[in-house]
């Protein structure tokens, strides 16, 4: 049933990765697949999940019973193979044509024959395979998974819970008879991680590249213990009131009032073993000090570094650095402040925080607007395009409770007024109305651009409201620098 090209491709060092789940039903494979997909996308690795069960439901509109999964059901076996083939064809399209780097093939894949077929498919298409097997012998965990996840499955939409549980247990039995777990001897040449009893033990075999090591690192940090993560920004600061970004100012009077109300809120929640994290900046520390509990400071939680724009108002940035202002509106996620950071940089800085958050149970993180956006984007599976515009108002606590395949969010406003620091996404194609001729700062005349002959060609677009920009800055590395040339080094960007 393998669909493949006749040519066998050499798997290069940086070739795409195919993650293949292995295990009986109700072992958390889809939970793992979805979390891995969310994590890899968050760190900037284009990843997509392919759930064979969804292909089967699309092909077979009405599910009748576990009989479909019996190993002696030839018709059912044929349909399941067709669905797996369709999913693999889509995997190939995603990795070979659409530019994906990682595909997660989410299915039981319980037989050595099936896994061998997938390996052959990967070899013929130049993909590297990493298996993720989930083994669970604890009947209580399996039963809990069935109740939490499978009862909401479209297969059982018209069944009562008792009927659904009985049918699903019989479905598991259908797979048990032919299940061949990954074996240390027989499968010694495969790359895999075997997760036993929801993380009590791990077996890792033949990790061969950076992506696989990141996958292992991540999977060894996650857990399924019920917990809540509380996220909030610091109380309103003096610089917030002045409309200035960044800096390290103290809390305003209203910010201090919020800190007191935050303490009352946390006490009312009666959270067992709560840990509190802050950044190393004054306003988060002052907020946490009011809680009357120990807290930890993380440098990684510091606000995004605005570089030369620290403590400026947006209007001042627009006036003094109009090109920088426009570039940030074009791609807020990847734009990096001169001598500062981008949201993309911030995500990389926060990865250790995410890993530790995954290991923890109940925790309160007192942080900053950009930091909170990055953390929220991870837990809520938001894209890089959405991330910089997530609303994280002051004096509001977000309670995140991980559920089966996602995260439940509760927003609690603590009734203390504060300034609004959110800036909406600009309309498509719109820049500042002040850009009436050139997008370069006033000090950079067209003659200065023309005289910098060692620079790549810069093409200016002189429309009153639109400009298409890329964020790759050009550097002046040769010849003596005039004032204009020195300014070019900081501000000139390719404009197309």
| DSSP H helical ranges for 149-196 | 161-176
Is 237 part of any known ligand binding site? yes
Pull the structure tokens for residue 96. Answer: 């070979």
The owner of tokens 């070739």 is: 15
Sign of CA dihedral 375, 379, 382, 384: positive
Is 324 part of any known ligand binding site? no
Among the options 49, 133, 234, 324, which is catalytic? 234
3-state helix, strand, coil in the chain (%, to 5): 40, 15, 45
303 is catalytic: yes
Interatomic CA distance for residues 491 and 281, integer angstroms? 29
Is 89 part of any known ligand binding site? no
Is 167 part of any known ligand binding site? no
Residue 414: name the closest of 428, 388, 396, 434 by CA: 396
For residue 333, give Cα distances in angstroms to 63, 217, 259, 341, 434: 43, 25, 30, 10, 24
Interatomic CA distance for residues 105 and 88, integer angstroms? 8
Is 109 part of any known ligand binding site? no
- Element at 370 (helix H, strand E): helix 369-380
Give CA 413 to chain center in angstroms: 26
Among the options 303, 324, 341, 351, which is catalytic? 303
Contact 76, 69 (CB under 8 A): yes
Is 240 part of any known ligand binding site? yes
Is 115 part of any known ligand binding site? no
Is 239 part of any known ligand binding site? yes
234 is catalytic: yes
Contact 47, 41 (CB under 8 A): yes
Give CA 298 to chain center in angstroms: 20
Is 233 part of any known ligand binding site? yes
Pull the structure tokens for residue 288. Answer: 């946490």
Active site amino acids: 234, 303
Annotated binding site: 233-240, 283
Annotated binding site for substrate: 233-240, 283
């Amino acid at each position: 049933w393998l669909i493949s090209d006749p040519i066998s491709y050499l798997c290069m060092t940086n070739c795409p990765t195919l993650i293949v789940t292995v295990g009986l039903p109700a072992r958390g494979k889809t939970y793992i697949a979805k979390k891995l997909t969310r994590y890899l996308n968050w760190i900037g690795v284009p990843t997509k999940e392919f759930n064979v069960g969804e292909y089967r439901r699309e092909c077979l509109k009405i599910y009748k019973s576990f009989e479909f999964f019996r190993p002696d059901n030839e018709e059912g076996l044929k349909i399941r193979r067709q669905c797996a083939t369709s999913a693999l064809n889509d995997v190939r399209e995603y990795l070979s044509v659409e530019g994906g780097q990682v595909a997660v093939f989410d299915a039981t894949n319980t037989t050595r024959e099936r896994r061998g077929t997938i390996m052959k498919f990967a070899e013929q298409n130049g993909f590297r395979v990493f298996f993720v097997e989930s083994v669970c012998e604890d009947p209580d965990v399996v039963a809990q998974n069935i109740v939490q996840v499978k009862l909401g499955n479209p297969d059982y939409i018209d069944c009562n819970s008792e009927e659904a549980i009985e049918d699903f247990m019989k479905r598991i039995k259908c797979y048990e008879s032919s299940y061949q777990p990954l074996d240390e001897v027989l499968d010694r040449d495969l790359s895999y991680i075997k997760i036993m009893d929801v993380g009590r033990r791990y077996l890792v075999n033949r990790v061969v590249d950076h992506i696989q090591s990141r996958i292992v690192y991540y999977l060894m940090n996650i857990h399924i213990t019920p917990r809540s993560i509380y996220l909030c920004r610091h109380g309103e600061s003096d610089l917030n009131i002045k409309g200035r970004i960044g800096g390290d100012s103290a809390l305003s009077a209203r910010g201090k009032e919020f800190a007191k109300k935050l303490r009352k809120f946390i006490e009312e929640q009666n959270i067992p073993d709560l840990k509190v994290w802050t950044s190393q900046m004054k306003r988060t520390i002052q907020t946490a000090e009011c809680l009357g509990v120990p807290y930890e400071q993380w440098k990684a939680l510091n606000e995004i570094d605005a570089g030369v724009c620290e403590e400026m108002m947006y209007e001042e940035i627009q006036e003094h650095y109009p090109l920088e202002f426009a570039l940030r509106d074009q791609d807020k996620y990847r734009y990096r402040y001169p001598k500062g950071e981008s949201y993309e940089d911030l995500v990389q800085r926060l990865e250790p925080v995410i890993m530790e958050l995954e290991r923890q149970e109940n925790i309160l993180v007192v942080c900053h607007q950009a930091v909170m956006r990055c953390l929220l984007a991870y837990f809520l599976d938001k894209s890089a395009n959405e991330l910089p515009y997530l609303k994280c108002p002051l004096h509001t606590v977000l309670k995140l409770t991980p559920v089966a395949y996602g995260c439940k969010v509760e927003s609690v406003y603590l009734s203390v007024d504060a300034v609004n620091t959110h800036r909406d996404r600009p309309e498509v194609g719109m820049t500042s109305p002040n850009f009436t001729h050139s997008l370069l700062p006033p000090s950079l005349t067209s003659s200065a651009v023309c005289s910098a002959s060692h620079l790549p060609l810069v093409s200016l677009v002189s429309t009153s409201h639109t400009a298409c920009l890329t964020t790759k800055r050009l550097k002046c590395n040769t010849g003596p620098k005039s004032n204009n040339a020195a300014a070019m080094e900081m501000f000139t960007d390719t404009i197309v």
